[in-house]
């Protein structure tokens, strides 16, 4: 691996340098081309003594699998991380996004937060286990998967869960949690992702008669209905439904009734991030994100489409989505609704497990008095695939105890993505702690 980190100790050096190496391999998706990153991890893990391979249907988008085999006397643990990143247009960046610049104890670059830094931390933890020669009670498997950001190529985790049943593990750690949030009154919470919403996109189509735009009077212009549907969807508040894990979290926080008028304001008063996260955890959302008609400017179109991002709570169905839209729009505007992609997601893992307790114990040891906040992610991660296909208990947890959480989140998919190097060490420590707690 490359050098260049100041004398800050071997723990910092190893995980930061592996992170920088991965950042310098441009795996922007599209097009992805994650194989060079997988090969770099292969060389690193093989040197440590792990059992390694590259796998996948696309030679340019291979996945890295590294395993330390256990005795079979205990549960198995998978540590997950995707190698692809979203594109990084140079506008707005104060550094080269693919250089891994370190400045004032912080590393900047595309993927340092989402999620090459987290992946590097897990790789270091598994490499140390392999170097130790210790035989764990169960298998420890590192998977560095491709195509998480777009999930359209069938080259990453969807392919692995279908074709590689031998990789199935009882437990998994992935992205989507671990932020330390300081609340009013001296309280602190650390998030842990226990599930995700169902995700899809939909087209709401309004039909008209069409005509020449130079004679608009009396024309049946479908944009009128599309605009009204857009307004109603934006203004409508979807009904509240609280899943069990979230119910316990809200109770521990002392939250008011999620269906009450004061809930959103209360959440925002607790923390800037909770102002958006908590309301999204208790309601499904159908958000207009585009209007399409597809005709030249001088033509009143035959139809107009409202394109919507759809995020439904676990347990929801396509019919639930249709019912939500019908409730929001009413029956005085005719429309047709079509899903542009199947609903995916909506899985949830229980919180009464050894891995959940290991994550909670780690947080409480590092931050005395901290409370644990399980949450349902409004986004999507590859945890869905292992929960659905293998019934794996999967959590999103990578401790971010040093980086300001707002700064950390603002860098996701944006310019100057960054993370404190201290957090990379903490993530490594957590992965080692989880390995020791579950498989010895």
Q: List the catalytic residues.
A: 84, 148
Question: What SS3 class is residue 317?
Answer: coil
Residues 193, 100 contacting (CB under 8 angstroms): no
Closest CA to 362 of 312, 294, 434: 434
- CA gap 269, 15 in Å, rounded: 36
Strand ranges, E, within 13-152: 51-55, 63-68, 77-82, 101-103, 106-108, 140-145
The span from the CA of 232 to the CA of 240, in Å, is 18
Q: Which residues, at least 6 apart from 306, have a Cβ–Cβ distance to it below 8 Å?
A: 203, 204, 205, 206, 226, 229, 230, 233, 288, 290, 291
Nearest Cα residue to 346 out of 393, 382, 386, 312: 312
Beta partners for residue 344, in sequence order: 199
Strands 299-300 and 211-212: antiparallel
């Amino acid at each position: 691996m490359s050098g260049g980190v100041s004398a800050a100790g071997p723990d910092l050096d190893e995980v930061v340098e592996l992170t920088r190496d991965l950042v310098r391999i441009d795996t922007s998706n599209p097009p992805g081309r994650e194989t060079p990153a997988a090969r770099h991890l292969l060389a690193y893990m093989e040197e440590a003594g792990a059992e390694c391979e590259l796998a996948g249907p696309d030679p340019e988008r291979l996945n890295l699998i590294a395993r330390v085999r256990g005795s079979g006397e205990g549960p198995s643990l998978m540590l997950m991380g995707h190698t692809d990143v979203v594109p990084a247009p140079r506008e707005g960046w104060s550094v080269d996004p693919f250089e891994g610049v370190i400045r004032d104890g912080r590393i900047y670059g595309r993927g340092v937060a989402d999620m090459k830094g987290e992946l590097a931390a897990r790789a270091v933890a598994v490499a140390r286990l392999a170097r130790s020669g210790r035989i764990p009670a169960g298998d420890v498997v590192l998977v560095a998967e491709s195509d998480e950001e777009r999930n359209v190529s069938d080259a990453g985790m969807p392919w692995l869960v279908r074709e590689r049943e031998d990789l199935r593990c009882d437990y998994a750690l992935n992205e989507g949690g671990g932020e330390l949030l300081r609340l009013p009154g001296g309280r602190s919470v650390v998030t842990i992702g226990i599930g995700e919403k169902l995700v899809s996109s939909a087209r709401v189509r309004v039909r008209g008669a069409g005509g020449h735009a130079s004679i608009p009077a009396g024309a049946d212009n479908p944009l009128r209905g599309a605009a009204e549907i857009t307004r109603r969807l934006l203004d409508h508040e979807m009904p509240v439904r609280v899943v069990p894990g979230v119910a316990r979290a809200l109770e521990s926080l002392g939250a008011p009734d999620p269906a009450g008028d004061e809930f959103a304001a209360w959440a925002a008063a607790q923390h800037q991030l909770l102002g958006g996260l908590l309301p999204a955890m208790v309601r499904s959302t159908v958000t207009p994100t585009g209007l399409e008609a597809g005709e030249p400017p001088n033509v009143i179109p035959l139809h107009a489409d409202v394109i919507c991002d759809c995020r439904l709570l676990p347990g929801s169905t396509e019919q639930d989505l249709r019912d939500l839209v019908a409730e929001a729009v009413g029956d005085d505007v005719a429309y047709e609704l079509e899903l542009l992609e199947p609903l995916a997601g909506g899985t949830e893992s229980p919180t009464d497990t050894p891995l959940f307790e290991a994550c909670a114990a780690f947080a409480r040891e590092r931050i005395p008095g901290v409370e644990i906040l399980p949450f349902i992610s409004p986004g999507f991660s590859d945890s869905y695939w292992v929960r659905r296909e293998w019934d794996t208990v999967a959590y999103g947890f990578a401790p971010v105890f040093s980086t300001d959480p707002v700064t950390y989140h603002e860098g996701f998919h944006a310019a100057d993505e960054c993370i404190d190097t201290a957090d990379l060490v903490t993530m490594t420590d957590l992965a080692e702690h989880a390995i020791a707690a579950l498989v010895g």
